[in-house]
């Protein structure tokens, strides 16, 4: 079983990738083979609206050729996927948005007869990491339209896990930080972030369990 994590963070091994690594750990603990793909290492753009994927009789895939092409192929063959992104302006990062446009759009139908061109159930998880606190996010939830259409396209409600109040700088004293309480951030990093890492691990476990359930059906 192959579980792929896609990182939409520009920072290697920071908050988002730590959460993704923990999710992959969880998946591995149930025997899955795992892989991390870093979008910031690839040269690609979002959907070009060539609409080749909507041609009658065409294969349902993205026809654009660039660094993302082979990634999209891997994602369409994966047993489960975890998309991880820092939150920028209360949304996914630009690269993650571009990747998801290219991955999701070929499976969107303009047909009245079917809801999706993806032919099986594919469990998908989303991990978001952000500066704001959980209380704050209750008032202004993260906008992710891709999560909203995931069940329609891939047959399974997505699982979403978050890390809040993240540690953003190596040394807060050297950067602007007036609106943050560094003490609170430190406390969060030491006491809460390990628990958030554990929720990411549980996400990896849960996705693999779902795949096993579907395979047994
Ligand atoms: C361009 C930019 C925009 C950001 N916008 C938000 C935001 O709207 N809300 C928020 O909570 N954090 C915001 N952040 C903070 C990051 O989401 C947060 O530090 C995240 O955990 C970083 O992930 P990383 O450590 O994997 O890079 C922003 C950071 C950057 C660089």
Considering the chain, what is the average pLDDT of its residues? Answer: 96
Which residue in 66, 77, 75 sits closest to 44, CA to CA? 66
Residue of minimum CA distance from atom 30 in ligand 1: 88
- Is 22 close to ligand 1, i.e. is its CB under 6 Å away? no
- Is 14 close to ligand 1, i.e. is its CB under 6 Å away? yes
CATH number of 80's domain: 3.40.50.360
Domain count, the chain: 1
pLDDT tops 90 at residue 24: yes
Cα 162 to ligand 1 centroid, rounded to whole Å: 12
Q: Is residue 217 part of a domain?
A: no
pLDDT tops 90 at residue 133: yes
pLDDT score at 35: 98
pLDDT tops 90 at residue 4: yes
For 48-69, write each residue's pLDDT tens digit.
999 999 999 999 999 999 999 9
Q: Is residue 102 part of a domain?
A: yes
Q: Is residue 170 part of a domain?
A: yes
- Is 15 close to ligand 1, i.e. is its CB under 6 Å away? yes
pLDDT score at 217: 84
pLDDT tops 90 at residue 19: yes
Cα 161 to ligand 1 centroid, rounded to whole Å: 16
Which among 127, 168, 197 is the best mutation to test ligand 1's pocket, defined by most ligand atoms within 8 Å of the CB?
168
pLDDT score at 1: 97
Residue range of the domain that includes 9: 2-212
pLDDT score at 155: 97
Which residue in 32, 16, 34 sits closest to 200, CA to CA? 16
Give the position of tokens 């920071």: 14
pLDDT score at 111: 86
Q: Is residue 155 part of a domain?
A: yes
For 150-182, write each residue's pLDDT tens digit.
999 999 999 999 999 999 999 898 989 889 889
pLDDT score at 182: 92
Residue of minimum CA distance from atom 4 in ligand 1: 88
Band (pLDDT 50/70/90 cuts) for residue 43 is very high
- Is 93 close to ligand 1, i.e. is its CB under 6 Å away? no
Using alpha carbons, list the distances in angstroms from residue 39 to 100, 127, 150: 11, 15, 20
Cα 91 to ligand 1 centroid, rounded to whole Å: 9
For 200-213, write each residue's pLDDT tens digit.
999 999 999 999 99
Provide the whole-model pTM. 0.97
Q: Is residue 72 part of a domain?
A: yes
Q: Is residue 115 part of a domain?
A: yes
Q: Is residue 121 part of a domain?
A: yes
Q: Is residue 18 part of a domain?
A: yes
Residue of minimum CA distance from atom 16 in ligand 1: 130
Using alpha carbons, list the distances in angstroms from residue 34 to 12, 39, 129: 17, 16, 21
Q: What percent of the chain has pLDDT over 90?
A: 90
For 64-106, write each residue's pLDDT tens digit.
999 999 999 999 999 999 999 999 999 999 999 999 999 999 9
pLDDT score at 118: 96
């Amino acid at each position: 079983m192959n579980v792929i994590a896609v990182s939409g963070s520009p920072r290697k091994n920071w908050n988002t990738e730590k959460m993704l690594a923990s999710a992959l750990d969880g998946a591995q603990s149930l025997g899955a083979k795992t892989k991390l793909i870093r979008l910031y290492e690839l040269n690609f753009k979002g959907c070009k609206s060539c609409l080749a994927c909507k041609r009658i009789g065409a294969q349902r895939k993205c026809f654009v050729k660039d660094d993302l092409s082979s990634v999209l192929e891997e994602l369409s063959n994966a047993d489960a996927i975890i998309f991880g992104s820092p939150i920028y302006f209360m949304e996914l990062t630009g690269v993650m948005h571009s990747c998801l446009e290219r991955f999701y759009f070929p499976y969107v139908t303009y047909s009245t007869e079917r809801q999706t061109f993806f032919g099986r159930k594919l469990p998908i998880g989303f991990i978001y990491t952000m500066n704001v606190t959980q209380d704050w996010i209750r008032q202004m939830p993260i906008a992710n339209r891709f999560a909203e259409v995931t069940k329609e396209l891939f047959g399974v409600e997505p699982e979403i896990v978050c890390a809040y109040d993240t540690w953003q700088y190596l040394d807060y004293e050297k950067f602007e930080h007036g609106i943050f309480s560094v003490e609170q951030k430190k406390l969060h990093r030491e006491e809460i972030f390990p628990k958030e890492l554990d929720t990411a691990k549980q996400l990896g476990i849960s996705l693999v369990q779902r795949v096993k359930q579907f395979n047994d059906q």
